[in-house]
């Protein structure tokens, strides 16, 4: 289940948070795909069909972000 998502258009990164608490960043996601995702009636089927295996992704780790920012 998808809990929330955010898109960084300048980097074309889609961050998805799942209800489990895990977060993944999907790279090189075009804005038109994100717009279609936003307006889709049911997020999980759209995600499975159009995003999950179509874009490179990695688990998002806040500890990495903190280390990268030097704080």
pLDDT of 70 > 90? The answer is: no
Q: Which tokens sit at 65?
A: 């972000």
pLDDT of 9 > 60? The answer is: yes
Q: Which tokens sit at 11?
A: 């980097």
pLDDT at 63: 58
Report the domain count for the chain: 1
Backbone phi, psi, residue 58, to 5°: -150, 155
pLDDT of 69 > 60? The answer is: no
Domain that holds residue 20: 2-69
What are 14-64's pLDDT values in tens digits? 999 999 999 999 999 999 999 999 999 999 999 999 999 999 999 987 655
């Amino acid at each position: 289940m998808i809990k929330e998502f955010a898109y960084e258009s300048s980097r074309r990164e889609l961050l998805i948070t799942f209800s489990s608490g895990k977060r993944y960043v999907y790279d090189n996601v075009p804005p038109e795909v994100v717009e279609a995702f936003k307006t889709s009636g049911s997020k999980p089927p759209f995600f499975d069909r159009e995003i999950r295996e179509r874009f490179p992704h990695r688990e998002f780790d806040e500890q990495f972000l903190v280390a990268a920012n030097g704080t």
